[in-house]
Structure 1
Amino acid sequence: MTAPAQRAVLREPAFLRLWTGTTASGLATWALPFVLGLAVLEGSLDAVGLGIVLGVRTAGFLAAVPISGVIADRYSRRAVVWWSGLSAAVASAAIAVGLGTSLWLMIAGAVVAGAGQGACRPAFQALVAEIVTDEQRQQANAAMTFSVRVTTLIAPAAIALLGTLLSTRALTVGIALLWLVAAVLPPRGTFRREAPAGAGLAFFTEFADGVREARRHPWFLAGLGALTTVIATGYSATGVALPLVSRDVYGSETVLAAALTGYTAGALLGAVIISRWRPHARGWSALAGLGVYAVAPLALLVPLPIAVVVAAYVVAGIGIELFNVPWFTAVQREVDPATLARVSSLDFLLSYGLAPLGLALIAPAIAAFGLAPVLLTCAVACVLGPGLAALVPGTRRFSREPARSPS
């Protein structure tokens, strides 16, 4: 795909609005922990309060994801984005008011903000499929993930800079404004669903329909299992081990900062590559990229030059985006549009919902068995998960349809 063609999707007004709204929600999501960290430094929030607020935000996220998947498939995905963004905006304003005055108000706001964050994810995912043609979806998903990675790269520095000019309360109000942008800007989708037959259908019945649709696609279940394995082991291991290795082996936080920056830079590069590359065996290529994450825990096994550690994280970042973009594109292409939000919510719920569990288990495992055995085990899991998934029918191309022979 040529460079002009690669830029074409961002020239589409509807997608540009969706991309901008998604980027605003990403900025708001990533900014809050940093802003609350500044609040700890200035004394308006203590470390225990910070942990509680961030913890209940995650709980709100996980609770809202499956509910919003059902609602977005039953009604309007645009409406779900509107109400979830508006709720997160009001909740962020409540957190601003509660700073230094009421921890309970902050907790309530964090629950609702997390729910708004979780509710918009499946709806955003389904909206891409509604407003972008099939030929442009991989490019569109690459643009989406590119914005996410840029956000993670610039958010800490931007918050630190703004923190020298504005109070933490003002910064939190700014987060509320970002959520308003995320609520207002995205366009209406084009998918026309039938009016729900019997509005009294139970939530679990409708969610079960989404699960049944997911089970129709063996490649989806296999890929989701592989992704969950890598996040619960590889992500979690490096999340806990990287700070420890940086401090104990290299004597400072330099390796921690450099490796995380390298990972984000690699992900940006991976997004650019996959926006242009169309491998024939797209599923196997994606799973291979996912398995490459094993180099991250392996780079921490023994003392290595800092450049080697950073290079390993760059490679891991490239690999994760070589998986993410084809994965999202395949879900949008293969899944019944009427159940797309529910299947996407299942994806987010399992893959990212188990991440906190992995983080909680890694530290005790390191204490019990030592750092090296845990890192090695996680690296093996990062390879085995995608490797076993590749054996499942349909994973070669992330499709139930057989590959077409070239004419």
Structure 2
Amino acid sequence: MSAVVDVPLLRNGAFVRLWAGTAASGLATWAMPFLLGLAVLDHALTAAQLGLLLAVRIVGFVAAVPVGGVLADRYSRRRVVLWSGLMAAGAAPVAALGLRHSLVVAAVAVAVTGVGQGACRPAFQALAAEVVAGPRRQQANAAITLAVRVTTLLAPGLTALLAVVVSIPWLLLGTGGLWLVAALAPKGGAGVRVGAGGRPAVLSEFVDGVREARRHPWFLAGLGALTAVIATGYSATGVALPLISRDRYHSEAVLAAALTAYTLGALGGALLIGRWRPRMQGWSALAGLSLYGLVPLGLLLPVHPAFIVVTYVVAGFGIELFNVPWFTATQREVDPDRLARVSSLDFLLSYGLAPAGLALIAPAINTFGMSTVLAVCAVVCFAAPAAAALVPSSRGFTTSVQTP
């Protein structure tokens, strides 16, 4: 693999194009469920139909992530981004048409969009390592997450305003334009080694990626902690916050303020970690991840709503103190030929399977009560990162010996 030249990010044209493509894909990924939710308010969909469309999107995403990781290691990462983005872009007008005329057509198109979303994620992650030199990767990952967070902060209001004058199908069509940017903007990087002879089956290659992940105990420990936090704390608060906002505080303002506060906290965390290099990077990252435990703890206690908002700010801040070093360490430590497959394992377990946690939380609340579920989730959010920190290589997110 050819060396990557270390130049400032703003002078690295390949990174700027990658940043634009990643930002466009993030906006398009966020927009679809939001627009489908607006379609319910517009009486174009029922709540049950919305649930079906969101479910098939998740199924497409989860199915495509491991395959996308294998393909991104087998072929050019740039090519995988291109075809994944084109697939999602082509599905957008079909989804818009189906929304007006056929739920089946809409479901197929949304599923295809989920496939495009899932396939491009590990390719984008590996491509970042190809176009940005090691010393600047943490700053690059922070810049990418800043774009995602700003989108999350501003897009709901802008989309709602657009929905006043533009119909939902046309807005869905607009997401196709975003996917075209995601597909066409990034530039190829240094490339990966292509072995001679035939290639093994996709499953065998994915298993090879799992073996690579097992060579890094810090990665398995951190992934276990992240998955536990998302499956319990993130899922529980996603269900509990709207209920508590309505029943305890009798206002939707707490819900809106808390979600906005989380994004603002994440922006602050990304800005800090883009320049801060803690000496014990892994432990600092895991400590940031554990801060999410304050959210279910705050929801459990009869506190002033301002306290709830503060816990979300701190949780958002902490999650980026984890995310950016985590992505950077994965890009640094993992064999470049297997990076996309290891990244796909990360996305598959931590984010792709998050709906399983959401599906179990509501029955658990009905069975054991809100307080019990929130208390258990708070304990898990604190305990899982602490347990991960006990793995020796977790201190610096590295399997090699580091000099001070």
Aligned amino acid, residue 366 of structure 2? A
Cα separation, 1, equivalents of 2:106 and 2:331: 36
- Deviations along 1:114-169, whole A, 9 cap, x unmatched? 00000000000000000000000000000111111111111211110110121111
Which runs of 5 or more residues in structure 1 are unaligned?
1-6
Q: Residues 22-61 of structure 1 correspond to what in structure 2 (within 5 A)?
A: 22-61=22-61
Which runs of 5 or more residues in structure 2 are unaligned?
1-6
Aligned amino acid, residue 340 of structure 1? L
Cα separation, 1, equivalents of 2:256 and 2:160: 15
Q: What residue in structure 2 maps to residue 194 of structure 1?
A: 194
Cα separation, 2, equivalents of 1:245 and 1:22: 35
1:84 is displaced (CA, Å) by: 0.3
1:196 is displaced (CA, Å) by: 4.9
Aligned amino acid, residue 240 of structure 1? V
User: Is 1:10 paired with 2:13?
Assistant: no
Aligned amino acid, residue 156 of structure 1? P
Aligned amino acid, residue 206 of structure 1? E
Cα separation, 2, equivalents of 1:345 and 1:196: 24
Cα separation, 1, equivalents of 2:359 and 2:169: 31
Q: What residue in structure 2 maps to residue 94 of structure 1?
A: 94
Q: What residue in structure 2 maps to residue 227 of structure 1?
A: 226
Cα separation, 1, equivalents of 2:293 and 2:329: 24
Cα separation, 2, equivalents of 1:264 and 1:278: 22
Q: What residue in structure 2 maps to residue 3 of structure 1?
A: none
Q: Residues 300-311 of structure 1 correspond to what in structure 2 (within 5 A)?
A: 300-311=299-310
Q: Residues 228-267 of structure 1 correspond to what in structure 2 (within 5 A)?
A: 228-267=227-266
User: Is 1:164 paired with 2:164?
Assistant: yes
Mapped contact 1:214–1:221 kept (Cα < 8 A): yes
User: Is 1:64 paired with 2:64?
Assistant: yes
CA RMSD of aligned residues (A): 1.1
Cα separation, 1, equivalents of 2:286 and 2:370: 27
Q: What residue in structure 1 maps to residue 337 of structure 2?
A: 338
Aligned amino acid, residue 282 of structure 2? G
Q: What residue in structure 1 maps to residue 289 of structure 2?
A: 290
Q: Secondary structure at the match of 1:189?
A: coil
Cα separation, 1, equivalents of 2:147 and 2:212: 30
1:191 is displaced (CA, Å) by: 2.4
Cα separation, 1, equivalents of 2:99 and 2:227: 35
User: Is 1:184 paired with 2:184?
Assistant: yes
Cα separation, 2, equivalents of 1:24 and 1:258: 25
Q: Residues 301-380 of structure 1 correspond to what in structure 2 (within 5 A)?
A: 301-380=300-379
Q: What residue in structure 2 maps to residue 144 of structure 1?
A: 144
Cα separation, 1, equivalents of 2:196 and 2:270: 38
Q: Secondary structure at the match of 1:304?
A: coil
Cα separation, 1, equivalents of 2:216 and 2:247: 45
1:30 is displaced (CA, Å) by: 0.7
- Deviations along 1:4-28, whole A, 9 cap, x unmatched? xxx9413421111000001101111
Q: What residue in structure 2 maps to residue 118 of structure 1?
A: 118
Q: What residue in structure 1 maps to residue 80 of structure 2?
A: 80
Cα separation, 2, equivalents of 1:343 and 1:335: 8
Cα separation, 1, equivalents of 2:377 and 2:50: 29
Mapped contact 1:45–1:100 kept (Cα < 8 A): no
Percent of residue pairs bearing the same amino acid type = 64
Aligned amino acid, residue 398 of structure 1? F
Q: Secondary structure at the match of 2:352?
A: coil
Cα separation, 1, equivalents of 2:43 and 2:303: 39
Q: Secondary structure at the match of 2:401?
A: coil
Q: What residue in structure 2 maps to residue 396 of structure 1?
A: 395
Cα separation, 2, equivalents of 1:294 and 1:321: 15
Aligned amino acid, residue 71 of structure 2? I
- Deviations along 1:82-114, whole A, 9 cap, x unmatched? 000000001111101111201011011011000
Cα separation, 2, equivalents of 1:42 and 1:301: 35
Q: Secondary structure at the match of 1:99?
A: helix
Q: Secondary structure at the match of 1:276?
A: coil
Q: What residue in structure 2 maps to residue 218 of structure 1?
A: 217
Cα separation, 2, equivalents of 1:52 and 1:11: 45
Q: What residue in structure 1 maps to residue 133 of structure 2?
A: 133
Q: Which moved more, 1:100-109 or 1:43-52?
A: 43-52
Q: What residue in structure 1 maps to residue 386 of structure 2?
A: 387
TM-score by length of 2: 0.97
Aligned amino acid, residue 175 of structure 1? T
1:185 is displaced (CA, Å) by: 0.5
Mapped contact 1:74–1:196 kept (Cα < 8 A): no
- Deviations along 1:193-212, whole A, 9 cap, x unmatched? 1245313x111111111011
Cα separation, 1, equivalents of 2:196 and 2:120: 21
Aligned amino acid, residue 341 of structure 1? A
Mapped contact 1:218–1:392 kept (Cα < 8 A): yes
Cα separation, 1, equivalents of 2:54 and 2:353: 16
TM-score by length of 1: 0.96
1:372 is displaced (CA, Å) by: 1.0
Q: What residue in structure 2 maps to residue 173 of structure 1?
A: 173
Cα separation, 2, equivalents of 1:376 and 1:329: 32
Mapped contact 2:192–2:336 kept (Cα < 8 A): no
